[in-house]
Structure 1
């Protein structure tokens, strides 16, 4: 294990053990380095890496603190990986999204209120009149996120946002280069909404799964045709 990695593991072990609680300040650099048996340079590298991961927070002139460690904060660091995902990795992210979002959509069928359903209806109307890929994706994201948020699990909502970011979706829509793909997406959205309006959890889950599977199938074909540029059209 690299020295920096070892230093990171030691700091994380202190957090897990409760020696460093969320929001607490880390000991002074020389004290912590001696406590962990590390050089000060190794400790600095570890602190920089953990700060980038949102595990630690550096406050100018005040020291370094453990962050709140809220799951939504820690998951934000995965967004960049999803943004730049290509090829097989992008496909794997979609597969995970399908597994989670289909179940969340089924759960939402029981809790969405009339005004929530009307909001979804209005979002789909805006989605259908979108003039650009970016505009379509903005409304598409709003539609799916609103459904997932109804479940009341912010960690699930954030995870699904991370699994399919705005950047990734725009690249997929642009890459499809066909009105047929958008027409199919609109039809899928309507079927999802009808299932939600009917309070049919099983149908809602299955229509959401079919919707995301269609994107997976297109991407799978793209990987066969152009493995290295599947999402860069």
Structure 2
């Protein structure tokens, strides 16, 4: 790591005995670099101070220093460039939320219902935001995606993996159209990692793939009408269907899913 950047005066030097043994030396490094970024001393694209200087200011040896830096690299906060040092990344939402995708990937099938519950909270709001912002080009692209899905359903043997890809692409487009990078990053991580639950439903629930396509069309109609309330409700009902089915298969959340379904039943608009 090479640079003449100085650490801010407020950055923690060494771990204080009062911090206790639980606070590792690597954590001192993580906290110190994090403070450098939040204080504005380091910004996106900044190069870290040289290793010797950084270690001295934080009161840690080379081993813990490198361990802490590696942890921040994994989190997408830092990046190392061979022969050129270590830099703060662009800190964009997509990169910072990448570990969330790994967390979702590691969830067991019975716990996927919890991820679907998170989607039910986030995606309706993303759809409502998208309804106010989405442009003609994005609407046309969404229509092409759904047309591709309908072509898959017309085959004698439905390509389930293909329909899941269409589903994922459609949801990603809406999240991006919301104009909120955090929405887009979190939803992107969750949608791709809940594909197994959606595939399970497609295989075991009669007419699920056709119902999904109809729900997608209803969501698109609401987006095209730039109606945020209708887009929110359509998306909520859509995501709830997968959550409710998954809960019924693996247990643990039936009551919550059924309560949500009951609450939505009174608010759902007539089919478009």
RMSD (Å), alpha carbons: 2.1
Structure with more contact order per residue of length (Cα contacts < 8 Å, sep ≥ 6): 1
Over residues 80-116 of structure 1, what are the superposed CA-to-partner deviations in whole Å (9 max), with x where a residue is unaligned?
Answer: 2222322454222222222221122123223334454
Instruction: Give the TM-score normalised by the residue count of structure 1.
Output: 0.85
Instruction: Give the TM-score normalised by the residue count of structure 2.
Output: 0.74
Q: Select 2:105's aligned residue among 83, 100, 106.
A: 83
- The answer for the alignment partner of 1:189 in structure 2 is 216
Whether the 8 Å CA contact 1:24–1:66 is kept in 2: the answer is: yes
Alpha-carbon distance, 1:16 to partner: 1.4
Alignment of 1:152-231 (within 5 A): 152-165=179-192, 167-169=193-195, 171-176=196-201, 177-178=203-204, 179-224=206-251
1:134 equivalent to 2:161? Answer yes
Q: Select 1:149's aligned residue among 176, 180, 185.
A: 176
Alpha-carbon distance, 1:38 to partner: 0.9
Between stretches 189-198 and 63-72, larger displacement belongs to 189-198
Query: Where does the alignment leave 5 or more consecutive residues of structure 1 unmatched?
Result: 226-233
Instruction: Tell me which structure has the larger Cα radius of gyration.
Output: 2
Alpha-carbon distance, 1:206 to partner: 0.4
Runs of 4+ in 1 over 4 A off after TM superposition: none
Query: Where does the alignment leave 5 or more consecutive residues of structure 2 unmatched?
Result: 1-22, 153-157, 253-272
> Secondary structure at the residue paired with 2:96?
helix
Q: Select 2:132's aligned residue among 90, 101, 110.
A: 110
> Secondary structure at the residue paired with 2:132?
coil
C-alpha separation in 2, matches of 1:21 and 1:148: 27
Q: 1:175 to 1:69 in 2, by over 3 A?
A: same
> Secondary structure at the residue paired with 2:43?
coil
- The answer for the alignment partner of 2:116 in structure 1 is 94
